[in-house]
Structure 1
């Protein structure tokens, strides 16, 4: 019997209406540089981005008395508001079933390596406060009749620290935080794209932005200046970096923007890839119950012939079906799970079907076809962990669609909103890029290497090589709060008007030299080249030669951009030209770091298999050993450090640093440690 939920309940958790923004405050002054007379907006702090992490930082700074302004390329248009999965996860301490030791939780968060130990502990201990404050704002996290938060197991999580409001969890987070920001009267400037950091004597003094709706004869490019002494970068990850992507369209992130500002990046070798529907239709991750109900997965070639391609990889129907199920909580591709007929063999098989030019589908109205010569599929013939889960959930229905209706009807409703009815039609999907685990390097307060600049959310590089599912949402809330605490404790103004004006002049000069209307390079050609190179050579399967060649080609592209610029046929394309210039730069940075990692002998971890004929790990399928996929295993020593990247002139400087440690034996003592809190010494 399917779970009985009224349409009102389904609608409320699926059609999450975002609040209407208040009118933007006007500029009280202007600044003229060359042919540009631009408005100037003043604040103590500016937040770039309107996702869950940026809104948290803005709300917490306002609550602490800071004059803060939010600028956003597209309000409610980023990954927090538009992306998700079947029951999108918020990862927090498990206080319901067994209690939690924050040190144990920190170990789980950093278990994948390349993550600072102190950061992991901060995320663990801060998770209770983050969740409670979201509940206070109205986030409808599910509870049992005694008030305990309902939990489940997710990626890289054996304890069960995941909770969810359903597929729109992060959108609901954005909604309640946005409503609080509006209630607090925080100015919000929409359709505003940050393009250059303004600095004075090595300290941030503002940001130059573009606002196409303010273009006029006196300001032909719609430039605007936002002065501040605290700048929070929270504009998400580089979703446009890959052709095969589950990011919403237009998610550029700020890696190139940060590199041009002299910010150090870390761990940009680390991303997440997994199955999902592409952004050409409705981009969504197909984790959780979408695969736990075990639909039939097949491909269709150019002649329209169906292929039961998973039968070329798994030995038995039970093994195949059980590993399709495990994609629910082992969603990201992981090289080691290609071994011994584990769940990432599913990703590999899907990826290779795509390379053949075939389209891949999951059909919720059919159970998996059997492996030839083996028994038919049956819910009573599954591995013990799979069988136990389905029985506990009461999902022993005959067909996948009925199991899905019982376990998670919201997963069906969501696609209906985008004219896809999975109760009737198969769902096309692929292996896509989903998340950047690296980003801007920050310390325990979210500070970057440039004084006054902070980074939070996916823009920051705090997540390590792998992470428990949903821990990114928690990290953004925890560090959004810590950034606000630090910024409020350090409010001294450091810039002056003369320095600010000089910084604007230099930024506009650089900007004008980069923009051109009569060159060979077009926005489309740069986009197609960058995305194809990253998807084809820096996806889940990498080889040393292909990465090295891709890096050389990326360098050539950026040399052309520096020499000729990117063409624009009309003024309102200029912001896109700047974004693709910065994205090309980010692509070269990622390939530089990846080439360094592979050249130094780095092995397969997180998102990528480093394929090498001399590798020590060899996947196999039912048809035999997959010699072309022999890969290097991850080295333990690589888990203890991070690769850093910084732009100097036109070249990248690569470095390595050890993960910051955390002393698990250290004990706090109230009377001894309280003065550091009272005096603000903890912020130093």
Structure 2
């Protein structure tokens, strides 16, 4: 059994995990019985996307429901692009994941002696386990509490990862392609540290902040995807960016998500000008259609009538039912002057989930030895062309487990960390042009929203590509001259991620799932992944 407790290097551990959300902490807790684990958080330990998840976790627990039906619902939502074997693996491991969370103290809602299950778009049964409308927060809290109490887990906040440390950073250069950890800048001191380990897990979340309107947290800038790509990993299906149909429209409150479960419990989408309920006209599942269909319908309604938003209305349900099911949303909106028991909610679509990412196998392994990945930064084969609601947290638990199990099983085959060169700042200066970062950040998010959004055309995608090419040169020049800052790192990763999204979207000559283009409206008979090779 490895023992690094006596190591004189505080930045050396057995396993390094970048990301402190559901995937990262699940892996950490599974490894900590045998290994010394360091977990890096980009900001606070609870600031990732997990804590923001309102909905819940999908699992087959209701009588009459079956694994086969959950698998089929996932495959249908994913427009046939899912890897069926991966879907089967994740779905079949879901109930065990729920029971482990219960054991950690997650206070799931109950009905009598059983777990209360809600239903969301695309699901044929009630199978969403939840903690009212704040499941992610409860899960994050339970995982963090367990991790903080474990003597073998070291939690390090405010570390912004810059790049992976690989074989080419070894003091005796090697082209072996191994990953030995990351270089990261401390938000507080500005110091760049090197964190090394025999195995590294990227659990860095998605790339939602590439877009102007997003429900993702501030730190979702595609860091893990961009770092893995630069190091030599394949990236897949980046064109499939999920837009949540119902983000609160409010000029003062940004990014407040109105959970899918509001529609699952009977909420209607209405045109605010006419009061017409339009979803039954467009899909037999009405408001319970998958997210891509509902988001496009909302977008079309807004654009056709020149609206700022559409209405989501659950006020026809009993007030005590609404307050009981959605206490967080009820309180938040009441503070903004909207009583959802009596009034509709103004909503717009917003970027919500990155379905593509780093290519991983069923053990969470990437293309590079020593590097694993789990959660939203990956393309595991689970989601296909569109993620089914509440399968995302589930993926984090299953792949966090899988990566940890593979590392433990293969430990003796993982070579020890060689001497790695430290970060070199000898030829750079402090920036005197922070405005460059802010200008480019804003420009990326705006052109991605306008040109690479819910509905696309080849001409729009080519315009985005032209802007990315111009900015890439500028950002590379800036990166080479000045000391790294968190904002500069994020800008570099945003631009890299935007490039991967646009390249993937231009490559797909069909409309499938979340990728909808007016130039290729038909779906091709065979579903093929888009795989980009560095």
Q: If the TM-score is normalised by the length of the shorter chain, which range does it land in?
A: 0.7 to 0.9
1:622-641 equivalences under 5 Å are 632-637=521-526, 639=527, 641=528
Counterparts in 2 of 1:403 and 1:513: CA distance versus 1, 3 Å: farther
Match of 1:143 in 2: 110
The structure 1 residue matched to 2:392, chosen from 472, 483, 495, is: 472
Match of 2:291 in 1: 332
Match of 1:492 in 2: 412
Deviation at 1:439, TM superposition (A): 0.8
Distance in 1 of aligned mates of 2:291 and 2:211: 16
Superimposed CA distance per residue, residues 410-448 of structure 1 (whole angstroms, 9 cap, x where no aligned partner): 4302445x6554358875432110000111110010000
Contact 1:537–1:550 (8 Å) recurs in 2:
yes
Within the alignment, does 1:442 sit opposite 2:360 as a pair?
A: yes
Match of 2:212 in 1: 243
Match of 2:240 in 1: 270
Superimposed CA distance per residue, residues 22-58 of structure 1 (whole angstroms, 9 cap, x where no aligned partner): xxx99944xxxxxxxxxx5110101111111111111
Distance in 1 of aligned mates of 2:271 and 2:104: 41
Deviation at 1:259, TM superposition (A): 1.4
1:1-400 equivalences under 5 Å are 28-29=8-9, 41-63=11-33, 65-74=34-43, 75-84=45-54, 88-93=55-60, 95-100=61-66, 102-111=67-76, 112=78, 113-145=80-112, 147-185=113-151, 186-200=153-167, 201-213=176-188, 215=189, 221-254=190-223, 255-273=225-243, 274-277=245-248, 281-288=253-260, 290-291=262-263, 292-294=266-268, 297-298=271-272, 308=273, 317=276, 328-330=287-289, 332-334=291-293, 344-351=296-303, 356=306, 359-360=308-309, 362=311, 395=317
The structure 2 residue matched to 1:529, chosen from 406, 427, 443, is: 443
Counterparts in 2 of 1:154 and 1:352: CA distance versus 1, 3 Å: same
Superimposed CA distance per residue, residues 200-232 of structure 1 (whole angstroms, 9 cap, x where no aligned partner): 33211121111132x3xxxxx411111101111
Distance in 2 of aligned mates of 1:67 and 1:108: 39
Superimposed CA distance per residue, residues 290-332 of structure 1 (whole angstroms, 9 cap, x where no aligned partner): 453447653xxxxxxxxx0x56xxxxx4656887996753362
Match of 1:422 in 2: 339
Deviation at 1:249, TM superposition (A): 2.1
Distance in 1 of aligned mates of 2:268 and 2:444: 35
Match of 2:170 in 1: none
Match of 2:476 in 1: 562
Question: After alignment, is 343-352 or 582-591 more displaced?
Answer: 343-352
Counterparts in 2 of 1:190 and 1:351: CA distance versus 1, 3 Å: farther
Distance in 1 of aligned mates of 2:240 and 2:428: 30
1:571-582 equivalences under 5 Å are 574-582=485-493
Superimposed CA distance per residue, residues 491-516 of structure 1 (whole angstroms, 9 cap, x where no aligned partner): 2375566x4323x4xxx35x777887
Within the alignment, does 1:412 sit opposite 2:330 as a pair?
A: yes
Deviation at 1:405, TM superposition (A): 3.7
Three-state SS of the structure 2 residue aligned to 1:477 is helix
Superimposed CA distance per residue, residues 444-473 of structure 1 (whole angstroms, 9 cap, x where no aligned partner): 100000011111111111221123210111
Match of 1:607 in 2: 514
Aligned residues: 510
Question: After alignment, is 157-166 or 48-57 more displaced?
Answer: 157-166
Distance in 2 of aligned mates of 1:520 and 1:148: 55
TM-score (norm: length of structure 2)? 0.86
Contact 2:69–2:124 (8 Å) recurs in 1:
no
Distance in 2 of aligned mates of 1:183 and 1:564: 42
Segments of structure 1 that go 5 or more residues without pairing to the other structure are 1-24, 30-39, 216-220, 299-307, 312-316, 338-342, 368-378, 380-394, 616-631, 648-684
Contact 2:160–2:187 (8 Å) recurs in 1:
no
Counterparts in 2 of 1:566 and 1:331: CA distance versus 1, 3 Å: farther
Counterparts in 2 of 1:268 and 1:129: CA distance versus 1, 3 Å: same
Contact 2:159–2:184 (8 Å) recurs in 1:
yes
Counterparts in 2 of 1:567 and 1:158: CA distance versus 1, 3 Å: farther
Distance in 2 of aligned mates of 1:324 and 1:464: 21
Deviation at 1:114, TM superposition (A): 1.9
Counterparts in 2 of 1:546 and 1:148: CA distance versus 1, 3 Å: same
Distance in 2 of aligned mates of 1:135 and 1:556: 51
Counterparts in 2 of 1:512 and 1:327: CA distance versus 1, 3 Å: farther
Three-state SS of the structure 2 residue aligned to 1:196 is strand
Three-state SS of the structure 2 residue aligned to 1:522 is helix
Contact 2:249–2:309 (8 Å) recurs in 1:
no
Larger Rg, first or second structure (1 or 2): 1
Distance in 2 of aligned mates of 1:587 and 1:114: 22
Three-state SS of the structure 2 residue aligned to 1:225 is strand
Three-state SS of the structure 2 residue aligned to 1:527 is helix
Match of 1:594 in 2: 505
Contact 2:134–2:328 (8 Å) recurs in 1:
no
Distance in 1 of aligned mates of 2:392 and 2:288: 16
Segments of structure 2 that go 5 or more residues without pairing to the other structure are 168-175
Distance in 2 of aligned mates of 1:249 and 1:267: 23
Contact 2:269–2:279 (8 Å) recurs in 1:
no
Three-state SS of the structure 1 residue aligned to 2:420 is helix
Deviation at 1:151, TM superposition (A): 2.4
Contact 2:248–2:348 (8 Å) recurs in 1:
yes
Distance in 1 of aligned mates of 2:216 and 2:525: 31
Match of 1:457 in 2: 375
User: Considering only aligned residues, what root-mean-square deviation do their CA atoms show, in Å?
Assistant: 3.2
The structure 2 residue matched to 1:539, chosen from 453, 458, 462, is: 453
